[in-house]
Amino acid sequence: MKLCIVGAGWAGCAAALQAAQDGHQVTLIEAARQPGGRARTVEIERSDGTRLLLDNGQHILIGAYGECLRLMRLVGVNIAAALHREPLALLFPDGTGLALPDAAPPWDALIGILRARGWSWRERAALLARAARWRMQGFQCAPQASVAQLCAGLPQRLMDEFIAPLCVSALNTLPEEASGQVFLTVLHDSLFAGRGGSHLLLPRVPLGALLPEPALDWLRQRGHAVRLGQRVQALAHDGVAWQVDGEAFDAVLLACPSADAARLAGEAGAPPALQAAARAWAGGAQALAFGAIATVYARQPGATAPLLPHAMLALRATPQYPAQFVFDRGHLGGHHGVLAFVVSAFTGEREQLQKQVILQARNALGITGLQPLRTVIEKRATFACTPALQRPAMAIAPGLLACGDYVAGPYPATLEGAVRAGVAATKAILLKASLRTGFAPSPPERGRG
């Protein structure tokens, strides 16, 4: 098959790699001049003229991200060198919080909760009892339940220092508005995915070097077309094949942001039945609400060692001090003195945010002299993962599919969700083709994850 993939974010790269593995000819088109989408490399210039390669926002992977890790291995990424691995920890600057040991589940969570610093025995018992109840219920709850409703009755300290940080980091949605079912799915698939599934994997290299850039090199080396800096203008079906800006393809995968996918599908010229299906899908995609994530990069001039005791610390966020996490880049690639403050579910103004974060660093971390480097705000970072949300289907019309972290599925907007969506869309479209032609796609290369 001749397959066109529109968008070279993590979903598009995953879809292209899967299709190429199955022996099909891929054309990957990306509007930007670099791949990665909302998880890409950015270049920051210091006041002294030197340049840093960082990211458009600080990202976290976990050990349960099996598809991400599989594809990284496929394209030759040295995972041990590229990712800093450590057991899950939600530690605050004063040393309190939860830190799991490197043990098999459920013992890691059990031991971690029992050893949590700053929690009373009543609070630990309450969390263990609630976790046991969730497990007995198969990590299922009413579709309309929010995370706050799911956790009703838990002590406030647990809500503030465990549930809320996990919720906003995984779903980018506040507990009062976030889907309880998606939250439970994330807990189950991270804490009970096998030993190491809950481990934090913090990038030591820029995000582009983790998957998008080596993926494009891998595709080019095998004769597939990669077109950067080219925005797709029109999608049409001539009754035989899908046309992307006048070029015919057997199938098309829209791996671009949902707004762009909705534009292309909604304006597609096609026979009436195909056009009606595409426009109906576009309406559902346009109805999604999105939230912003802000990352404030700041540096302490002259620093020659990490500023924090750990690569990542949780912060007690307030309206005046909005960052929920801080990352010390000195632990993650040698950028000593550079900190990344992450504000999920962000609403506000850039300049005010920078001032608040610098004050938060002084009062919560005892660090003075920080200078803002750059504040990156992804206004449509993730869809709002609300209860009973109706997400767009993967299938748009015959031969036309969407793949991205926003399509129907069990996970919130994460890198793993995007990658799984890309692989699933490719398998689905090629399976339908095999049923018509008798060709059976080969199974994907398996990796340890």
Q: How far apart are CA 329 and CA 415, in angstroms?
A: 20
DSSP code, position 146: B
* Strands, sheet with 25-30, edge to edge from the N-terminal-most edge strand: 225-228, 25-30, 2-6, 251-254, 400-402, 395-397
Q: What is the four-CA torsion angle of 260, 266, 268, 271, rounded to 10 degrees?
A: 150
Banded model confidence at residue 434, pLDDT cuts 50, 70, 90: low
> Which residues are paired to 342 by β-bridges?
295, 325
Please give the share of the chain, as a percent, with pLDDT higher than 90: 89
The 10s digit of each residue's pLDDT in 133-190 is 999 999 999 999 999 999 999 999 999 999 999 999 999 999 999 999 999 999 999 8
> Half-sphere exposure of 52 toward its Cβ, with a 13 Å CA cutoff?
25
* CB count in 10 Å sphere of residue 110: 16
96 has a pLDDT exceeding 70: yes
Q: Does domain 290-383 have CATH number 3.90.660.20?
A: yes
Mean pLDDT, range 17-35, rounded to an integer: 96
Confidence of residue 208 (pLDDT cuts 50, 70, 90): very high
Whole-number pLDDT of residue 51: 84
Q: Across the chain, what does the average pLDDT equal? A: 93
Burial of 261: CB neighbours in 10 Å, binned 0-12, 13-18, 19+: buried
CATH topology of domain 2-39+208-288+387-437: FAD/NAD(P)-binding domain (3.50.50)
228-287 pLDDT, tens digit per residue, is 999 999 999 999 999 999 999 999 999 999 999 999 999 999 999 999 999 999 999 999
Residue 193 confidence (pLDDT) above 80? no
Long-range contacts of 237-240 (CB under 8 A, 24+ apart): 237/268, 237/269, 237/270, 237/271, 237/274, 237/397, 237/399, 237/400, 239/271
Q: Tokens in use for 193?
A: 């995915």
Looking at the chain, the domain(s) classified CATH 3.90.660.20 span 290-383
The predicted model gives 98-122 an average pLDDT of 94
pLDDT at 440: 43
Three-state secondary structure of 192-205: CCCCCCCCEEEECC
- Whole-number pLDDT of residue 436: 52
Contacts of 443 (CB under 8 A, 6+ apart): none
**pLDDT above 70 for 443:** no
Q: Where in the chain is the domain with CATH 3.50.50.60?
A: 2-39+208-288+387-437
